[in-house]
């Protein structure tokens, strides 16, 4: 059994709805569908969720949101008309949504109506039951997800149905107050439904045919990744690969349910299959993917015999904790330690950090360097290969790129190097040529 989530671009207009309908009907195992709100039809178009949030903002100023909501209504009714779907229920629910938003409903309620209305429309088009996410995705009153109760409600309300449409992005607490996930949260909803139903596969349909081995804006002909692990996904998404964030699929990852990233506009492409552990059949590539991100800074603390001073590292890191800052990487030596973190988070606390570190550990010198980019070379295949680091460093050196810092994750799943930001594109291309293009 398959749970299939379709993103906003997959449901932007009637033509996209028809593609989705054909995909669902092509496999009887696709029984539970999780839709997003309609996305952009073209570059100058607006997402329905953005229009709904605009309505809420207008209402907070004491004005009427009628003119903006008319655009929302027209979009849904045009899709329904083009599909030949009876719009009586849709017209009624649009009126209720407008009335409640104009009456001062919460921002989360307004944001959720895009998925709710699209779910109603998709269920009517497919001719299958609609299940309101507010009845099965349970939040606590403070806005945190109640996973166990969510799984229980999905089992109670959805599992008895042969098939159903369950809108993404939102749920409700026990008092019926609507809460939403962060933007893109329909991916989480789909994963929760898949976990609650113990699906064989969770499909995430979007506008790209899975993950590529490198950003196609950097390497235009980058190959698609056929299979990868959730751990590889986490490493790559952290470093900027943006197809799907690992946090969005945590329920299925923990349950060992594979996720398949597919393209609504190219349904014959197999996409990328994400597994809990590496496949045992076939040849595992040394490198699964390469990703890089700019915008890092290093805080270098130097002090003779630092390694002999008990608690030195703890005291330094406590300073960052007191400033509510997370560090990303922590290369160290016997007389120096380097804290790497995003420049954007460091900047407001730069002077405070230097002052506090000076007081707690009395270093010989503190220096801060900006303009650092981090590049991750990721692959479970690196575990069994000798000379991977040598190949990587040779590829970088041949391009005349200076490595500012390097580290290998304790799991040996990825190697990271720090370089000047202006060398990022050249570095990714060099590593790609050394490990994947050859």
The domain ranges of the chain are 2-207, 289-437
pLDDT at 52 over 90: yes
| Other Cβ atoms within 10 Å of 19 Cβ, number | 17
- Three-state DSSP at 177 gives coil
Query: What is the layout of strands, in order, in the sheet containing 30-35?
Result: 164-165, 30-35, 2-6, 201-206, 259-263, 272-275, 227-229
pTM of the model: 0.86
Residue-wise pLDDT for 282-299, tens only, equals 567 888 899 999 999 999
pLDDT at 250 over 80: yes
Domain 2-207: assigned CATH number:
3.40.1160.10
**Domain spanning 289-437, CATH architecture:** 2-Layer Sandwich (3.30)
Mean pLDDT of the 328-338 span: 89
Q: DSSP secondary-structure letter at 47? A: -
What is the structure's pLDDT at 397? 94
- Cβ-contact 209, 265 below 8 angstroms: no
Mean pLDDT of the 11-33 span: 96
N residues, the chain: 438
What is the structure's pLDDT at 241? 65
Composition of the chain by helix, strand, coil, percent to 5: 45, 20, 35
Mean pLDDT of the 193-209 span: 94
Tokens of 38: 């309609």
Give the whole-angstrom CA distance, residue 105 versus residue 35: 23
pLDDT at 240 over 70: no
Q: Where are the alpha helices (DSSP H) in 256-382?
A: 312-322, 343-346, 350-361
Q: What is the pLDDT of the chain when averaged over all its residues?
A: 91
Residue-wise pLDDT for 374-400, tens only, equals 999 998 877 677 888 899 999 999 999
- Cβ-contact 397, 406 below 8 angstroms: no
pLDDT at 93 over 70: yes
């Amino acid at each position: 059994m398959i749970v299939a989530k379709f993103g906003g671009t997959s449901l932007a207009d009637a033509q996209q709805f028809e593609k989705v309908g054909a995909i669902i009907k092509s496999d009887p195992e696709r029984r539970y569908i999780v839709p997003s709100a309609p996305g952009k039809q073209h570059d100058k178009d607006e997402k329905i969720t953005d229009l709904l949030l605009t309505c809420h903002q207008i209402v907070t100023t004491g004005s009427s949101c009628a003119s903006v909501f008319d655009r929302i209504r027209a979009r849904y009714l045009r899709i329904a008309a083009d599909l030949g779907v009876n719009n009586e229920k849709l017209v009624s629910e649009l009126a209720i949504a407008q009335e409640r938003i104009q009456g001062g409903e919460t921002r989360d309620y307004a944001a959720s109506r895009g998925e709710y209305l699209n779910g109603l429309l998709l269920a009517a088009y497919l001719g299958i039951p609609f299940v309101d996410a507010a009845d099965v995705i349970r939040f606590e009153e403070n806005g945190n997800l109640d996973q166990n109760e969510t799984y229980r409600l999905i089992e109670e309300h959805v599992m008895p149905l042969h098939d159903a449409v369950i809108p993404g992005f939102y749920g409700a607490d026990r008092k019926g107050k609507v809460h939403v996930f962060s933007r893109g949260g329909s991916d989480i909803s789909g994963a929760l439904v898949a976990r609650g139903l113990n699906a064989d596969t969770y499909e995430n349909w979007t506008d790209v045919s899975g993950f590529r081995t490198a950003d196609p804006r950097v390497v235009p002909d980058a190959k698609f990744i056929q299979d990868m692990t959730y751990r590889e996904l986490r490493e790559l998404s952290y470093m900027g690969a943006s197809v799907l964030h690992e946090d969005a699929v945590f329920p299925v990852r923990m349950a060992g349910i594979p996720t398949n990233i597919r393209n609504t506009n190219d349904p014959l492409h197999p996409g990328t299959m994400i597994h809990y552990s590496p496949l045992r059949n076939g040849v595992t590539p040394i490198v699964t993917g390469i990703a890089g991100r700019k915008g890092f800074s290093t805080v270098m603390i130097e002090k003779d015999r630092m390694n002999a001073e008990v608690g030195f590292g703890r005291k330094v890191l406590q300073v960052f904790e007191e400033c509510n800052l997370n560090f990303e990487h922590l290369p160290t030596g016997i007389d120096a330690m380097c804290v790497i973190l995003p420049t954007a988070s460091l900047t407001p606390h730069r002077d405070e950090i230097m002052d506090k570190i000076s007081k707690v550990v009395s270093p010989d010198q503190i220096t801060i360097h900006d303009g650092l980019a981090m590049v991750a070379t990721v692959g479970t295949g690196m575990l069994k290969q000798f000379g991977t680091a040598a190949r990587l460093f040779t590829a970088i050196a041949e391009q005349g790129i200076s490595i500012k810092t390097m580290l290998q994750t304790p799991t040996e799943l990825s190697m990271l190097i720090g370089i000047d930001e202006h060398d990022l594109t050249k570095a990714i291309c060099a590593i790609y040529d050394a490990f994947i293009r050859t």
